Amino acid sequence: MASIGFFGRLGNLWKGFLSLWLSGEERKHPEIAYGNAINSMVEKYSSLKQATAALIRRREELDGRFAAQARELTQVSADLDTAVATNQDDLALLLIKKKQALEAEVASLKRELEEAAKEAEAAKQSLLQVQEEIRRLREEKDRMIARLRSAEARLRIQEQLEGLSVEADVRALETVREHIKNRVAEASLSKELGETSLDARLNALRTQTGDVAARAELERLKAARAAEPVQKKTL
C-alpha cells in the first residue's frame, strides 16, 4: 500500500507539471511559462527528495532491526544447541519457542526490507529523473528563449522593411524634379520671349540709332577738318 501511494503521488507530480502548459496567458510570455514550470519542478523535486529520504530511512531502520533480530536468532540457536547438549530440556523448550518467534520475525523483516529497498531505489531513480528534467528544462528555456528573441528580431526587421514607403519618397523626388525642370523651362522661355519682344527690339534700335548718330557726327567732324585748309587759302 505504501508503494502504491508513493507512485500515485509521483503520477500527480507529473500531472501537475503538465497542467502548467494549459494557460493561454503563459503562451504569450514563454519566460514566465518556463520559469513557472522549472519552479514547480524544483518544488516537487524538494518534496520528492524528502519522500525518498523517508523511504531510505525506513529501509535503514528495517535493515538495522533485521540485523539485530538475525544476530539474536543466531545466538538463540547456539543457546538451544547448548541446552540440548546439556540435557536442559525445560530451557531448550523455551529456546525453541523463542527461536520460532525470531525466525518468523526475521522472515517478516526480510520481506519488509526487500520491499523498502525496492521503494527506495525506485524513489531514487524518480528523483534522478526529475533532477534531469529540471536540467533539461533550464537548457531548453535558454535555447528556446534565444530562438524566440532571434525570431522576434527578424520579424521586427521584416516589418520595418515592409513598412518602408520608398514609393512615396520617390514620388516626392519626382515632384521636385518636375518643378526644377519647369522653372528651368520658364527661365528659358522668358529669355526667348525677351529676345523677341518689342521692348527688346526698341532697345536694340536705340542702340543702333546711337551708333548711326555718332558715326554721322564723326563724318561731320572729319569733313570740317578737311575744309579748314581750303578756307585758309581763300583768305
pLDDT of 4 over the 50 cut:
no
Predicted local distance difference test score (pLDDT) of residue 218: 73
133 and 30 share a domain? Answer: yes
Over range 66-73, report the average pLDDT.
95
Both 124 and 224 in one domain: the answer is no
Burial of residue 198 (CB within 10 Å: 0-12, 13-18, 19+) is exposed
Looking at residue 167, what is its pLDDT? 62
The residue range of the domain holding 217 is 200-235
Q: What percent of the chain has pLDDT over 90?
A: 35
Min mean pLDDT across 32-36, 52-56, 173-177, 192-196 is at: 192-196
CA dihedral (179, 183, 189, 193) in degrees, to 10, reads: 140
Q: Confidence class of residue 120 from pLDDT cuts 50, 70 and 90?
A: very high
Q: What nine digits make up the cell of 226? A: 578737311
Of 183 and 16, the one with more pLDDT: 183
Write out pLDDT tens, residues 159-194: 777 766 556 666 667 777 787 888 787 777 666 665
Same domain? For 132 and 158 the reply is yes
In this model, does residue 18 exceed pLDDT 90? no
Q: What is the mean pLDDT of residues 203-231?
A: 71
What nine digits make up the cell of 127?
Answer: 528523483
Q: Which pLDDT belongs to residue 10? A: 52
- Taking CA atoms, 119 is separated from 1, 128, 130, in Å, by 11, 14, 16
Number of domains in the chain: 3
The verdict on 102 and 147 lying in the same domain is yes
Give 79-105 pLDDT, tens digit per residue.
Answer: 999 999 999 999 999 999 999 999 999
CATH number of the domain residue 99 falls in: 1.10.287
Give the per-residue pLDDT at 9.
55
As a whole number of angstroms, the distance between CA 128 and CA 111 comes to: 26
User: Do 104 and 212 lie in a common domain?
Assistant: no
At residue 1, the pLDDT reads 43
**Judgement on whether residues 178 and 207 belong to the same structural domain of the protein:** no
Q: Average pLDDT of 26-39?
A: 79
Average pLDDT value over all residues in the chain: 79
> Looking at per-residue confidence, does 235 or 84 come out higher?
84
Assess whether 13 and 127 both reside in one domain: yes
What average pLDDT does this structure show over 69-85?
A: 94
Mean pLDDT of 136-152: 88
Q: Residue 45 above 70 pLDDT?
A: yes
Residues 145 and 227 in one domain: no
Q: Which residues contact 44 (CB under 8 A, 6 or more apart)?
A: 13, 16, 17, 130
Lowest pLDDT segment from 11-15, 103-107, 134-138, 170-174: 11-15
CB count within 10 Å of CB 159 equals 10
* Model confidence band, residue 15 (pLDDT cutoffs 50, 70, 90): low
